[in-house]
Amino acid sequence: DVKVTQSSRYLVKRTGEKVFLECVQDMDHENMFWYRQDPGLGLRLIYFSYDVKMKEKGDIPEGYSVSREKKERFSLILESASTNQTSMYLCASTEQGSSGANVLTFGAGSRLTVL
């Protein structure tokens, strides 16, 4: 089975801190995603990456950046955390394939609280 591992399950940070959320997948998937999950809003795409060093903005990229230096690792960076970034962050990956036919495999999530 594909495994997507998010190293930090729970984080508490202070406003203005730089935050790194790490995600690693072990099935050589080309595509990786970062979503934000908030009650009543479902999942919103922050960024995705379709190859090493390649990234595209999703629906809510403001306040976030990403890094993909290796195929298996996709990092989400909050340059200066704010309280409105308190949320659950979900990483996912899919293999390259026919359009729309790929299944997202999710990590367990990282719950971030910004004080």
Closest CB to another protein among 104 and 115? 104
Nearer Cβ to another protein, position 76 or 107?
A: 107
Token match 């591992």: residue?
5
Least distance from another protein to the Cβ atom of residue 67, Å: 18
CB of residue 69 to another protein, shortest distance in Å: 20
- Cβ distance to another protein smaller for residue 12 or 108: 108
Residue 74 is encoded by which pair of tokens? 């996709």
Residues that bind another protein (CB under 8 A): 4, 6, 31, 33, 40-43, 45, 48, 50, 56, 90, 92, 94, 96-97, 99-109, 111
Contacts by residues 103-106 (CB-CB < 8 Å, ≥ 24 positions apart): 104/33, 105/2, 105/3, 105/4, 105/25, 105/27, 105/29, 106/4
CB of 94: closest distance to another protein in angstroms? 8
DSSP codes, 29-86:
-SEEEEEEEETTTEEEEEEEEEETTEEEE-S--TT-EEEEEETTEEEEEESS--GGG-
52 vs 108, beta carbon nearer another protein: 108
Q: How far is the CB of 98 from another protein (least distance, A)?
A: 8
